[in-house]
Structure 1
Amino acid sequence: MTINSRGVASGAEWAAEHDIGEADAAALVGEQFPDLRGAPVALLATGWDNTVHLVGGRWVFRFPRRAVALPGVEREIATLPALAPGLPLALPVPTRIGRPSGSYPWPFWGAELIPGRELAEAGLPAAGQVRAAADLGAFLRALHDPGPAAGAGSALPVDPMRRGDPGVRAPMARERLDRLARRGVWRPDPAVERLLAEGERADPPPGPAVVVHGDLHLRHLLVGPDGRATGVIDWGDLSRADPAVDLSLAYAGFSGAARTALLAAYGRPLGPERETAARVLAVFLCAALADYAESTGRDRLLTASLAGIRRAVTP
């Protein structure tokens, strides 16, 4: 294992096992979808688990980068087409399903492009933040309704990564922050330490499991230039869990009037246990994003992620 110029191991957890470039994507898509043969292909985004290409200016194809992502790919293909019609924001609906082949061993899929920028990159003014937050609150109210859990989500696993349990996530957040502190990226914050200590003593919030996005962080909410939310992407951790798992973005992504608007649109009481779980998960997710961003040279994402940690402990 080697160490890169940023002091990060080349075998980091987000390292790709299969990294599909533009030429590879063009060949795979053209082979399996003849109507898209010869269409222009442009890299749209990369993440821990998927490389995403825009084909023909209309179709977004997601190619898994790591084997660990494959169960999530299968859940997206099976569940998103049934889940999407009942929700007020757009979801990427897999309509073009790619099969494993000799040149790429895993399934992949394509959906129509959802316009918008990642919340982490949008730089919204205060009024836009309020609009985005209110739209997200209404979306989560619909997603967490019992109907989806009884219907499209009935076969989903229940919190397989224990993201709704602050006693599990608080130590993991502390480990991430310690890693960032050793690299000079993060300076320990007493308010964050108090929250994580509270989380380590806390029980999981009570209540039935609902359908959750499962990984709803600063990169997965898309917004327009006016702040209106346009869609929610990257559903590889789709599952059933406590609502706190998704409400973590209320604390990582918003504060003040925007957070108030989100919780008002959500319209259901959180209670102290759920709020603690959501805040702890917000710290963990933002710390993980910051680790990834700093290690891969994504300065805007790093700034947004560190700001999200501070927001998570803001009243």
Structure 2
Amino acid sequence: MTSRPDGSPPPPEWAPEREVTADLAAALIGRRFRELRGAPVERLATGWDNTVFLVGGAWVFRFPRRRIAVPGVEREMAALPVLAPRLPLPVPVPRFAGEPSDDFPWPFWGARMIPGREFAGVRPPEDRRAALAAEVGAFLRALHDPALVRAAGDGLPLDPMGRADPANRAARTPGRLDALAGLGVWERDPAVDEFLAKARGWSVPDGEPVIVHGDLHVRHLLLAPDGRAAGVIDWGDVCLADPAVDLSLAYAGFGGAARAAFLAEYGPVPPDREAAARVLALNLSATLAEYAASTGREALLAETLAGITRAIAP
């Protein structure tokens, strides 16, 4: 971490470059979409890249918080209407598209709300995850169908974050783990260190790229009140990549019988793809745990710390 010239620490990675308030969101939406003018606007969620508002109790609007997120917003608007009818779980379908303007320099969009709670917020018991895991496995089998590349792959970049590269992700992870140890929420595990040391010599899995969500983790899977899957959100990293990029959720979010149920629905996963998925599962879990510990998100912290353990477990 590099200090500022005055010696103060830099802002965290998730700090917004532009913070949209509920009042500003209401103004931006009201000026552009007459039918929503005067509708109540309330903050629904925040992440690294977007601030999300519920409008009129029915519509969810996403506003970028950082310039780096803008290409992802544009990909969501282009890809989601094509993907949605081809997938077995609900995904957002942009209905309102806000263009950049003097009052807000970046695009934003709104879609019908998908009711549900984040997987990380619900934290279903381990012995009740199998049905959910099977639904996610079936969803990813459909998303990773090579035929979908021909239907919806135009314009999508090829793994721009390098998430299918296990050596890349292994090199990025120790710093995250050091941060967790420094925050006092995690103790170093020799098994994790050994796993990461081996992963530095692994290669990107063989195979043709498919369409992937790109950032499929425990905040982006929504659950219904009965614990089943309600939808998949936050598609700003949708791209072409090896399926390992999304299969990371099988290793971070599920273990034992639940993981077996996932794989039974998804299909066989070659060893090199499993290895890459496990490395990314560890990396994403550590990254989200650092974010959760630093922002006071206790449920997310508990789930992602458990994800570190699951990622390397048989």
The 5 A counterparts of 1:29-178 are 29-126=29-126, 128-178=128-178
Q: Is the 8 A contact 1:130 1:258 kept in 2?
A: yes
Q: Secondary structure at the match of 2:246?
A: helix
Cα deviation, residue 151, structure 1: 1.6
Q: Deviations over 1:63-84 (max 9, x none)?
A: 0000000010110011110111
Map of 1:193 onto structure 2? 193
Cα deviation, residue 226, structure 1: 1.6
2:185 & 2:138 partners in 1: Cα distance? 35
1:127 & 1:39 partners in 2: Cα distance? 42
Letter paired with 2:274: E
Q: Deviations over 1:91-138 (max 9, x none)?
A: 111110011222211110000000111110112134541111110000
1:227 & 1:278 partners in 2: Cα distance? 24
2:214 & 2:73 partners in 1: Cα distance? 14
Q: Is the 8 A contact 2:50 2:66 kept in 1?
A: yes
Q: Is the 8 A contact 1:170 1:199 kept in 2?
A: yes
2:207 & 2:100 partners in 1: Cα distance? 40
Structure 2 unaligned regions, length at least 5 = none
Cα deviation, residue 153, structure 1: 1.4
Q: Deviations over 1:39-89 (max 9, x none)?
A: 111111000000000000100000000000001011001111011110000
Q: Secondary structure at the match of 1:151?
A: helix
Q: Deviations over 1:153-197 (max 9, x none)?
A: 132111111100101000101121112212222211122112211
Q: Secondary structure at the match of 2:176?
A: helix
Cα deviation, residue 271, structure 1: 1.6
1:227 & 1:299 partners in 2: Cα distance? 20
Map of 2:275 onto structure 1? 276
2:261 & 2:276 partners in 1: Cα distance? 20
1:95 & 1:288 partners in 2: Cα distance? 32
Q: Does 1:289 align with 2:300?
A: no
Map of 1:5 onto structure 2? none
Q: Deviations over 1:205-264 (max 9, x none)?
A: 111100000000110011112221111100111001111000000000011111111111
Cα deviation, residue 141, structure 1: 0.1
TM-score calculated relative to the size of structure 1: 0.95
Cα deviation, residue 295, structure 1: 1.2
Work out the percentage of aligned pairs sharing the same amino acid.
61
2:297 & 2:79 partners in 1: Cα distance? 32
Q: Secondary structure at the match of 1:111?
A: strand
2:254 & 2:113 partners in 1: Cα distance? 26
1:126 & 1:179 partners in 2: Cα distance? 27
1:226 & 1:308 partners in 2: Cα distance? 22
The 5 A counterparts of 1:256-271 are 256-267=256-267, 269-271=268-270
Q: Does 1:180 align with 2:180?
A: yes
Q: Secondary structure at the match of 2:288?
A: helix
Q: Is the 8 A contact 1:128 1:228 kept in 2?
A: no
Q: Is the 8 A contact 1:181 1:187 kept in 2?
A: yes
1:104 & 1:56 partners in 2: Cα distance? 21
1:55 & 1:9 partners in 2: Cα distance? 36
1:220 & 1:294 partners in 2: Cα distance? 18
Q: Secondary structure at the match of 1:95?
A: strand
Structure 1 unaligned regions, length at least 5 = 3-7
Q: Does 1:208 align with 2:202?
A: no
2:288 & 2:125 partners in 1: Cα distance? 22
Map of 1:242 onto structure 2? 242
1:57 & 1:24 partners in 2: Cα distance? 17
1:76 & 1:260 partners in 2: Cα distance? 31
Q: Deviations over 1:133-154 (max 9, x none)?
A: 1100000000000111122013
Q: Secondary structure at the match of 1:135?
A: helix
1:43 & 1:127 partners in 2: Cα distance? 33
Q: Is the 8 A contact 2:183 2:293 kept in 1?
A: no
Q: Is the 8 A contact 2:44 2:53 kept in 1?
A: yes
- Give the total of aligned pairs: 309
Q: Secondary structure at the match of 2:169?
A: helix
Q: Secondary structure at the match of 2:129?
A: helix
TM-score calculated relative to the size of structure 2: 0.95
Q: Is the 8 A contact 1:287 1:305 kept in 2?
A: yes
Question: Could you say what the CA RMSD is over the residues aligned between the two structures, in angstroms?
Answer: 1.4
Letter paired with 1:161: M
Q: Is the 8 A contact 1:124 1:225 kept in 2?
A: no
1:154 & 1:227 partners in 2: Cα distance? 35
